[in-house]
Structure 1
Amino acid sequence: MILPCRQCQALPVLLVLGAVFIISSSTRAAQPPDCAGSPAKYEFRGIEMAVPIRIVCYAASEAEARQAARAAFARIRELNAVFSDYIPDSEVSRLCEAAGSGEAVPVSDDLWKVLVLSRDLAEKTGGAFDVTIGPLIRLWRRARTLRELPREYRIRQAQALVGFDKVRFDERRQAVELTVPGMKLDFGGIAKGYAIDQALATLRKHGISRALVDAGGDIGVGDPPPGREEWIVGIAPLNPGEPPGYFVKASHCAVATSGDRYQFVMVEGKRYSHIVDPKTGIGLTHHSEVTVIAPNATLADALATGVSVLGPAEGLTTAERFPEVACLVLQGQGDDVAAYPSPRWKQWTAQGKIVERPRSAE
């Protein structure tokens, strides 16, 4: 269900799942369209992909905004039916059921596109981002529920099912074969970003280019609000309850954050993240938060996961290989938090595209 929010209320500072804040794009409340046809701001909320979704857009009328928002939410819902491994009859679930059958399964344009991109990103990140990690993800979901570590032999069994060398692509038929029985795909590190991009594209098809889509704290933005040069996005700090440490001035790009702020398990005094290293089969043990700014949310989402696995040194080097990508890694505990910005993040700061939060700012 889509819930409309009051048209004339300025955007508040909002923390969604500990990832990113949205800051008001203007110091005054948005106004209804004037005689010159200036668009007004509209906001819609809903729950899709098991996360809060927020769409902020500028349109000539409420009817236009509502129609576009409904279409965008419907597109996100459609993609959830493709990529969710929680839905037994989702397209991904059906593909995984055929693992080891010796048959390539024809797939939709969306699944094909994201799988091909995921294969490319797995190669470019040295396997740090890998959607074939599904068997390991399921082990660690169970570990968080039971608050106990997976048995080592089960980790090794799951690792044997991971890797794109076990996936066969039939380009002529647009079909995919998972060649080993028991293989599982997990799109948790990329599907949300892809959904953001598709929601923005849907809004554009309905004539709305001035828009922001927030999916569980990952942000994609199009044209900025009227009279402004950018949207303002605040990067949440590593420690819960603190104000944003950085502001990003964003337009036609995306900001995604990955970390273990809420999803982790403590076993015998040691913290294990929900983010799993495919090479070790173990949940990450360093408390960290990775923020990626990229030209689109699909790439930002995936790289945030990949850099988290690689760690600051190798992760930032990897991020720099992607044009127009900037990255910040926060790592530590309490007052002992270290910040590792990528070289391009520093350059953007110098150019005024990214500004550190003033201590006195509210």
Structure 2
Amino acid sequence: MGTRFSIILYSRDALTAKRASSAAFACIGRLDAIMSDYRETSELTELCRAAHGQWVEVSDDLFRVLSISQRLAERSGGAFDVTIGPVVRLWRHARRAGRLPDSERLARSRDLVGYDKLRLDEKKRSVMLARPGMAIDLGGIAKGYAADRAIGVLEQFGIRRALVAAGGDIVASDPPPGAQGWVVALDQIQSPGGPVVSLLLRNRAVSTSGDREQFLEAGGVRYSHIVDPRTGLGVTGQSSVTVVARDCTTSDGLATAASVLGPESGVKLIDATEDAAGIFVRAAGEGAQVTESLRWKTVPKTRPKGDE
């Protein structure tokens, strides 16, 4: 899935901690072998090769993620769309080359995108892609799903106080002993001298989506690695979106969709999701423009000691 996972846990004994963490990392590795588009032998890659015009039965995990993705695609009006694969690959090459994708190749790739072209058969747990050349990219939801599954594995070993982090996606169960929550500092755009916002995470998940590290500047325009499936273009301008939700699958997917939709429509999507809250931060000159969802003020927060 192209990122590093880390686990912090509290256990009564070292043996249980070792067994639980080993099992959780094994679960993550298994899911990477299923859902990574970087692996030529992953189940996802093999599906994209085989499912053009025919039904292909897939694993429970892959079908579950695809089903969740399709529901989010409908709710977001296509701002979240896992069929974005062909376009994402072009933009990856473009960032490495330091120039915009070829317009004709981009147009051809864009024609292959559309969540209506991805067919799911729940009874047979099967998938079909409507057109040859289509490719699925789960980069906007797979890490969150894997983090959720890992925290579930830890709970099977009786580990109730744990945190699983996968890049900008974090899920936590009960907090450390004596603490109100896991302190998670947000990686956001800030005004000079502005305070670092930290959350107190407890039985919740948080995901931050942004372009601080992955972007392309061309013709005086900053293009994010996050691509709008509706246009085939990288989201422009420097911004970040943080979403808190019940689980990391939800927060990961919502953060991606909201990044594409922008503050106004993105906040509406977050507000329409039960128990979800979010904040948009956009670079504005030397400062930052902030847009909060209705429930953001209810999310427990603190400040690191250095900012008090």
Q: Which interval holds the TM-score relative to the shorter structure? A: over 0.9
TM-score, length-normalised on structure 1?
A: 0.81
Indicate which of 134, 150, 153 corresponds to 1:199: 150
Residue of structure 2 in register with 1:117 after alignment: 68
Q: How does 1:285-300 map to 2 (within 5 A)?
A: 285-300=236-251
Change (3 A) 1:242 1:170: farther
SS at match of 1:133: helix
Instruction: State whether residues 99 and 183 of structure 1, in contact with CA within 8 Å, keep that contact through their aligned partners in structure 2.
Output: no
Instruction: State whether residues 190 and 287 of structure 2, in contact with CA within 8 Å, keep that contact through their aligned partners in structure 1.
Output: no
Change (3 A) 1:294 1:244: farther
Instruction: State whether residues 99 and 182 of structure 1, in contact with CA within 8 Å, keep that contact through their aligned partners in structure 2.
Output: no
Cα shift at 1:106: 0.3
Identical positions, percent: 47
Indicate which of 215, 218, 222 corresponds to 1:267: 218
Indicate which of 287, 291, 301 corresponds to 1:354: 301
Query: Does 1:162 find its partner at 2:108?
Result: no
- Answer with 150-159 or 187-196: which moved more: 150-159
Indicate which of 27, 41, 50 corresponds to 1:89: 41
Q: Deviations over 1:144-191 (max 9, x none)?
A: 011111122222211211112112212221110111000000000000
Runs ≥4 residues deviating over 3 A = 239-244, 357-360
Instruction: State whether residues 196 and 219 of structure 1, in contact with CA within 8 Å, keep that contact through their aligned partners in structure 2.
Output: yes
Cα shift at 1:223: 1.0
Query: Does 1:60 find its partner at 2:6?
Result: no
Tell me how far apart the structure 1 counterparts of residues 191 and 29 of structure 2 sit (CA, whole Å): 30
Tell me how far apart the structure 2 counterparts of residues 333 and 149 of structure 1 sit (CA, whole Å): 24
Tell me how far apart the structure 2 counterparts of residues 50 and 63 of structure 1 sit (CA, whole Å): 30
SS at match of 1:118: helix
Tell me how far apart the structure 1 counterparts of residues 2 and 230 of structure 2 sit (CA, whole Å): 28
SS at match of 1:322: coil
Question: Match for 1:196: what amino acid?
Answer: A
Instruction: State whether residues 276 and 309 of structure 1, in contact with CA within 8 Å, keep that contact through their aligned partners in structure 2.
Output: yes
Cα shift at 1:247: 1.7
Residue of structure 2 in register with 1:220 after alignment: 171
Query: Does 1:177 find its partner at 2:128?
Result: yes
Question: Match for 1:75: what amino acid?
Answer: C
SS at match of 1:220: strand
Where does structure 2 lack aligned partners over 5 or more consecutive residues?
none
Tell me how far apart the structure 1 counterparts of residues 253 and 77 of structure 2 sit (CA, whole Å): 13
Q: RMSD of the alignment, in Å?
A: 1.9
Q: Deviations over 1:199-235 (max 9, x none)?
A: 1000001111110011113210001112223212111
Tell me how far apart the structure 2 counterparts of residues 93 and 240 of structure 1 sit (CA, whole Å): 42
Instruction: State whether residues 147 and 265 of structure 1, in contact with CA within 8 Å, keep that contact through their aligned partners in structure 2.
Output: yes
Residue of structure 2 in register with 1:301 after alignment: 252
SS at match of 1:307: helix
Where does structure 1 lack aligned partners over 5 or more consecutive residues?
1-48
Indicate which of 5, 25, 33 corresponds to 1:73: 25
Instruction: State whether residues 240 and 261 of structure 1, in contact with CA within 8 Å, keep that contact through their aligned partners in structure 2.
Output: no
Cα shift at 1:335: 2.5
- Answer with 319-328 or 169-178: which moved more: 169-178
Q: Deviations over 1:233-266 (max 9, x none)?
A: 1112315998863121111110100000000011
- Answer with 180-189 or 145-154: which moved more: 145-154
- Give the count of matched residue pairs: 308
Which of the pair is proportionally richer in helix?
Answer: 2
Query: Does 1:280 find its partner at 2:228?
Result: no
Instruction: State whether residues 329 and 339 of structure 1, in contact with CA within 8 Å, keep that contact through their aligned partners in structure 2.
Output: yes
